[in-house]
Amino acid sequence: MAGVGLIFFPAFDWCITPDHPEREERLLYTRDQIQEEGILDLPQFREYRPRMAAEKEIQRAHVFVPSLRAHITESHLIAAGGAIAAADLVMGGKEERACALVRPPGHHAMRVVHGQRGFCLVNNEAVMVEHIRQKLGPEARIAIVDTDVHHGDGTQDIYYNDPNVLHISLHQDGRTLYPGTGFLSERGGPGAYGLTVNIPLPPGTGDEGILAVMESLVLPILKDFQPDLVINGAGQDNHFTDPLANMQVTAQGYARLTELLKPDIVVLEGGYAVEGALPYVNLGILLALAGLDYSHVIEPDLTRYNLRQNQAVTETIAYLIDSVGEQWAQRREADLEGIFGSGDFFQRNRMIYYDTAGITESQRSCIRLCSTCAGWERIETRSDRFREMTCAVLLPWNCCSKCRSEAEAEYEEAAFSRRFRKVALHDPQKDHFTELRK
Amino acid sequence: MYTIGIDVGGTNTDGALLFGHDILAVVKVPTDHEDLVGSTRAALEQLLKSCPAGAEIELQLSTTLTTNTIVEGKGTPTAAVVIPGPGLNLDQCGLDLPFHVLSGYVDHRGRVIADIKADQAVDAALEAKRQGAEALAIVGKFSQRNPRLETAAAQAIRGAGLEFSYITLGHEIAARLGFPRRVVTAYLNSQVAAAQERFIRAVQELEEFRTIRILKADGGTMTLAQSRQRPIETILSGPAASVMAALALTRYTEHNVAVVDIGGTTTDLAVVVGGLPVYERDGAVIAGYPTAVPAVYSRSIGLGGDSEVHLTVEEGRASFTLGPKRAGKPACLGGAHVTPTDAISALRLAEVGNREQAVAALQAFASPHGLSWQEAAQGIVDAFVHQLCQAIHAVYDELEGRPVYTLAEFLEKPELMPQVIACLGTPAPAIMPAVGEKLGLPVEILPCSASANAIGSAAARPTTGITLHADTALGQMSIPEMGLFKEIERPALFDQRRARREALERLVEYARQSGLDEVPELDIVAEEAFNIVRGFRTVGRIFHIGAQIRPGARRIRVKEGT
């Protein structure tokens, strides 16, 4: 019997704004449905309290500009702490699987945070993954499968160059939906090439399509990667009633997906059909996690929609499965020099828009091309809200001694440089995170 | 005003006579399981001797009637007719009772998505009858948000001329969310209704009383008429009575109190916070059935004066564990077993039975293991203290871990940890000082331990509560406890203030219906308010308000020499 630990924190007194999709009401009907079904009386389930994440735990995943305290609310700390509590249940052997139904979500929050993006401020999953790795050590291999309809660009950003974290995002094609990224060409940095896997699904994808992707693409990739833990960022906005997206997945589809994926830890992401979808999808996911029959979980609206997947959509998905599968199979043969150049650094310049906060960030990142480790990274960032420049130096988990001394020297130099108002050094190996504000 | 409290327990029937706040007399008679009313009568007759003739008396009764009826499976053969709609497969709910499924369903907002089919309801009832059911429970998912389908099914069944001795509708018996618990509660309610009815008739023939009230699992009382409709709420009134006794007798009326009631077979632990008892989160569990019956939080552990004593010796170190089973009568009281009571007697921690017999039994028990009787007795007492402390810790860990769903509750967690331990039970004076020392808490040994349950029954006050759910977008409001389901007048103007006022006014009305002459203090115990936003526009609000009469017990003074 699979034991499932549930961390439920609907934050009934927290919202972005009262009529925002991310509002108090969001998990109300889910709570009502779960309580009315009485599943927490079943021997398979136990409910636990979340805890509040410590500032340091958040900092493992983020560099906040100008500071963490300028942005954070208690609800963010509890959502992230809820994810950590879920991970502890599984790692401590208390439960076989755990599910954190917490809000607000987190997967659009990138390494650098100037404000809220896509309703997210703190990347709950990344905070949780870094907590797990501090416990399990640098060799732990973790797979994150993001099934939110929006591209998990924040999580992708944080793990873009991390060879021990596989990030797979299934989402509605970025050409048709926020945040407008998540294409096949985004495959990871020089130290983790191929370990960012994007599967941009065409609008109109239904159960048939998403399950085909799971079975023929995601599961084989996971089998190949051999993760120690599988984490599911469970957005529920692929649902056919979601007001912000255009997909056709049902509660049955989500439950089957969960059954196939068998995630160790599920963390709620988005999903804004608060009444027609969330109560049923969440119930379906919980039942599937516990290995219980979910075939009776059926949305009231189901019969009013024609949910047959369009033939063109089916063909596009078949093509995607082939292309992404081939990319995965050939990731080791990729011409890294052709992609990242043959110099000492790989440099990216990006403009990042924060839709929720209305901020535009400009960022330059340089990753050290290193043959021993993933290479240290240096990020220079500023935004139209926080105009003064911040510099962050990030050591990889598997940092080699050469990269370490280079990065530390770089940090010293930045710390003395008058160009930067704030400098940060992230050293996950030593679990040491320094921030200096001048 | 005279009050008589009677607790018909498993072994003994206890009675207490009160005048105002003072105890005038207590009695104890053995319980006759075949005749609970007879046991009540025997206790009553003795108590009435201390009462002037013609005095106005109120009687408050706690019995094991419904509990025993369920535990022994002696209730009316009953079947459930359920309207589950979509969701968890009922076969996986662990519902250990016969049920028949109808189509149709109500959603989480209380909207009827699909109606029931009348002929299907009739067929289900016929099938239930064919299988021997004499009483029915009809329960729908989300019926407390909208009872229409349950009512329609009952009408169809009655309309077809099918007779059942009792029919319980889910929304009448369980206002909380939790469909499987509602099914179980309604089912058990129908099962015990006939037994309760017989009991009520017999009680009414006893004497002339001003009022007769029955103790409930939540430590409050209800009228005989109410107990006819909701007999299931009288389960587990014994543990509730002991908590009420502690509330009535403790000097620490405003404090956080851990209540420890040490019996022969078990020790019951309960929790008082700020003078009010803590309740079960979802409802009482009886005979393995999780129900929605509001109940005082109580945990029973297999540790008592008559517990089995186990001794293991490893590497020359002896360690004792006690319970969870009862060994039997202690040696000092003429039994054949070494028990904690014998250790208490031998060490002179209390005067119990024949001390020589206790010492002899301990000696016989200890010497094969190379221990003296003193070492064994001390080891047993230490084990008792250790196990009890662990159980107390477990209780508080469980309560501290109760989930909360708002930031406010998360951040302003009420302090539950006890400031004092109040104890009942004969072994308490011998054991509890060491427990208090170990936990760093003062210990209060409550007087009149032997009659605690009767005192608790006498001290109990009526409790009643309602849950108001209003949905202004749908324009509907419900208070299932009162069978009230109605349209909201001018829903656009129905705000939180009005919701609160409505809840409190209805509670007063309900309290009057429940036979309360004067309404004591009212509390809003739960409050939720949500904007319903559709398409970036607020289209209404949902209010959920729980209100109750503040629970509590009449204070009781014990005069010297009672």
Q: What is the largest CA-CA distance in chain A?
A: 65
What is the rounded distance in angstroms from the CA atom of residue A222 to the CA atom of residue A214?
Answer: 10
On the question of pLDDT at A400 being above 90, the answer is yes
Smallest Cβ distance to A35: which of B84, B178, B532? B178
**Residues of chain A positioned with their CB less than 8 A from the CB of B535:** 243
Q: Which residues of chain B have pLDDT under 50?
A: 562
Residue type at B288 in one-letter notation: G
Q: Do domains B78-191 and B251-448 have the same CATH topology?
A: no
A33 to B108: CB separation less than 8 angstroms, yes or no = yes
* DSSP state string for B152-193: HHHHHHHHTT---SEEEEHHHH--SS-HHHHHHHHHHHHHHH
Q: Which of A71, A76, A107, A108 is catalytic?
A: A108
Query: Which one, of B115, B114, B160, B112, lies nearest residue B136 by Cα?
Result: B160
Question: What ipTM score was computed for the predicted complex, to two decimals?
Answer: 0.92
Are residues B218 and B526 in contact, defined by beta-carbon separation less than 8 angstroms?
A: no
pLDDT for the residue B560: 59
User: Which residue reads 């004076």 in tokens?
Assistant: B429
Distance from CA of B147 to the nearest CA of A (A): 15
B92 exposed, middle or buried (CB, 10 Å; 0-12, 13-18, 19+)?
A: middle
Nearest-CA residue of chain A relative to B141? A36
pLDDT in tens, A367-395: 999 999 999 999 999 999 999 999 999 99
| CB contact at 8 A, B345 and B374 | no
Bridge partners of A354, per DSSP, are A359
Mean pLDDT for A131-155 is 97
What residues of B are in contact with residue A296 (Cβ under 8 Å)?
Answer: 84, 86-89
pLDDT at B84: 96
Report pLDDT for A2. Answer: 60
Residue B171 exposed, middle or buried by CB count within 10 Å (0-12, 13-18, 19+): buried
* Residue of A8, A16, A28, A36 best to disrupt the B interface, most CBs of B under 10 A: A36
Minimum distance, in Å, between the CA of residue A382 and any CA atom of chain B:
32
Candidates B87, B411, B542; nearest CB to A297: B87
Q: A247 with A238: CB under 8 angstroms?
A: yes
AA letter at A320: L
Neighbours of B559 (CB within 10 A): 9
Whether B531 contacts A15, CB under 8 Å? no
pLDDT of residue A1 exceeding 60, the answer is no
Q: Which residue type does A258 have?
A: T
Q: Do A293 and B113 touch (CB under 8 A)?
A: no
* Contact indicator for A185, A156 with CB cutoff of 8 Å: no
Quick check: A19 and B536 CB within 8 A?
yes
Query: CB-based burial of residue B354 (10 Å sphere; 0-12 exposed, 13-18 middle, 19+ buried)?
Result: middle
**Which of A188-202, A327-341, A394-408, B503-517 has the least mean pLDDT?**
B503-517
Residue B510's SS3 state is: helix
CA dihedral B198→B201→B202→B206, nearest 10 degrees, is 160
Contact A78 B407 (CB under 8 A): yes
- Residues of A with Cβ-Cβ distance to B171 under 8 angstroms: none
Cis peptide upstream of residue A179 (ω within 30 degrees of 0): yes
Among B177, B531, B535, beta carbon nearest to A35: B177
| Alpha carbons A349 and B495: distance in angstroms, whole number | 52
| Chain B positions in Cβ-Cβ contact with residue A24 (cut-off 8 Å) | 530-531
CB pair distance less than 8 Å for A36 and B408:
no
At B361 the three-state DSSP class reads helix
Contact B406 A13 (CB under 8 A): yes
Q: B407, B412, B538: which to substitute to probe chain A, counting the most A Cβ within 10 Å?
A: B407
CB within 8 Å: B87 and A35: no
Edge-to-edge, what's the strand order for the sheet holding A142-146? Answer: A45-48, A4-9, A97-102, A265-268, A229-234, A142-146, A165-172, A196-201
Domain B2-71+197-243 grouped into CATH 3.40.30.10? no
The CA–CA distances, whole Å, from A326 to A147, A184, A194, A197, B230 equal 21, 11, 11, 11, 67
**Angstrom distance (rounded) from CA B294 to CA B279:** 7
- Are residues A300 and B290, on separate chains, in Cβ contact within 8 Å? no
Dihedral angle, C-alpha B430, B431, B432, B438, nearest 10 °? 130
Strands (E), B47-118: 57-63, 78-83, 99-101, 105-106, 112-114
Question: Cβ contacts (< 8 Å) between B281 and chain A: which residues?
Answer: none
Q: Which residue of A has its CA nearest to B94?
A: A42
CB A23 to CB B407 under 8 A?
no
B533–chain A Cβ distance below 8 A for any pair: yes
Question: What SS3 class is residue B147?
Answer: coil
Q: Does B103 lie at the interface with A, CB-CB under 8 angstroms?
A: no
CB atoms within 10 A of CB B316: 6
Task: Check CB contact under 8 Å for B87 and A37.
Answer: yes
Phi, psi of A79 (to 5 degrees): -60, -45
Whether residue A104 has a cis bond before it, omega within 30° of 0 = yes
For residues A308 and A422, give the distance between their C-alpha atoms in angstroms, rounded to a whole number. 53
pLDDT at A301 over 90: no
- Residues of chain A neighbouring B403 (CB-CB closer than 8 A): 8-9, 47-49
The Cα of A207 is separated from the nearest Cα of chain B by a number of Å equal to 19
Per-residue pLDDT tens over the stretch A266-291? 999 999 999 999 999 999 999 999 99
Q: Which residues of B touch A98 (CB under 8 A)?
A: none
Residue with tokens 């006890």: B418
The predicted structure's pLDDT at residue B489: 92
Cα separation, B388 vs A324, in Å, equals 61
DSSP 3-state assignment of A32?
helix
- The C-alpha atoms of residue B338 and residue B179 are separated, in whole angstroms, by 47
**Alpha-carbon Rg for chain A in angstroms:** 21
- State the burial class of residue A164 (Cβ atoms within 10 Å of its Cβ: 0-12, 13-18, 19+): buried
Asked if A74 lies within 8 A of B109 by C-beta distance, the reply is no
Query: Distance from A299 to chain B by nearest Cα, in Å?
Result: 8
**What would the two tokens of residue B319 be?**
């360690």
Q: How far apart are CA A66 and CA A59, in angstroms?
A: 13
Q: Which of A38, A48, A296 sits opposite B180 (nearest CB)?
A: A38
User: Beta strand A165-172 with A196-201: parallel, antiparallel or unpaired?
Assistant: parallel
- Say whether B531 and A14 touch across the interface (CB within 8 A): no
pLDDT at B561: 53
Residue B244 near residue B456, CB atoms below 8 Å: yes
Q: Is A300–B86 a contact, with Cβ atoms under 8 angstroms apart?
A: yes
Which residues on A lie below 8 Å from B109 (Cβ)?
A: 29, 275
Cα torsion A173, A174, A179, A181: sign: positive
Nearest-Cα distance to chain A for B449, in Å, is 35
The architecture (CATH level 2) of B251-448 comes to 2-Layer Sandwich (3.30)
- Find, in chain B, the residue whose alpha carbon is nearest to that of A11: B406
Residue B321 bridge partners (DSSP):
B310
- Which residues of chain A have a CB within 8 Å of the CB of B93? 38, 42
On average, the pLDDT of chain A sits at 96
Which of residues B34 and A101 earns the better pLDDT score? A101
Put simply, the answer to whether B530 touches A12 (Cβ < 8 Å) is yes
Q: Tell me the C-alpha distance between B481 and B248, whole Å.
A: 28
Range list of H helices, B369-439: 373-400, 407-411, 428-439
SS3 A43: coil
Q: Which of B339, B287, B348, B285 is nearest to B308 (CA)?
A: B339
**How distant, in Å, are the alpha carbons of A358, B84, B179, B187, B243 from that of B124?**
60, 14, 19, 15, 43
A188: left (phi over 0), alpha (psi -120 to 50) or beta: left
pLDDT average, residue stretch A25-51: 95
What mean pLDDT comes out for the span A339-348? Answer: 95
Element spanning A4, H or E: strand A4-9
One CATH from 3.40.50, 3.30.310, 3.30.420, 2.60.120 for B78-191: 3.40.50
Distance from B349 to chain A by nearest Cα, in Å?
41
What is the least distance, in Å, from the CA of B283 to any CA of chain A? 11
pLDDT of residue B245: 95
Of A29, A49, A78, which has the smallest distance from its Cβ to B108's Cβ? A29
**Given B87, B93, B531, which is nearest A19 (Cβ)?**
B531
Give domain A4-12+21-332's CATH architecture.
Answer: 3-Layer(aba) Sandwich (3.40)
Out of A14, A36, A37, name the one closest to residue B407 (CB): A14
Question: Of A28, A280, A295, which is closest to B530 when you measure between CB atoms?
Answer: A28
Residues of A in contact with B404 (CB under 8 A): 49
Strand (E) or helix (H) holding B414? none
B403 → chain A, closest CA residue = A49
Domain extents in chain A: 4-12+21-332, 343-437
Nearest-angstrom CA–CA distance, B532 and B462? 37
Partner-chain contact A42 B542, CB within 8 Å: no
**pLDDT value of position A152:** 98
**B179:A38 CB<8 A:** yes
> Hey, are the CB atoms on B530 and A24 less than 8 Å from each other?
yes
Give the residue from chain A lying closest to B538, CA to CA: A19
Q: Residue B60: name the closest of B103, B131, B6, B106 by CA.
A: B6
A20 is catalytic: no
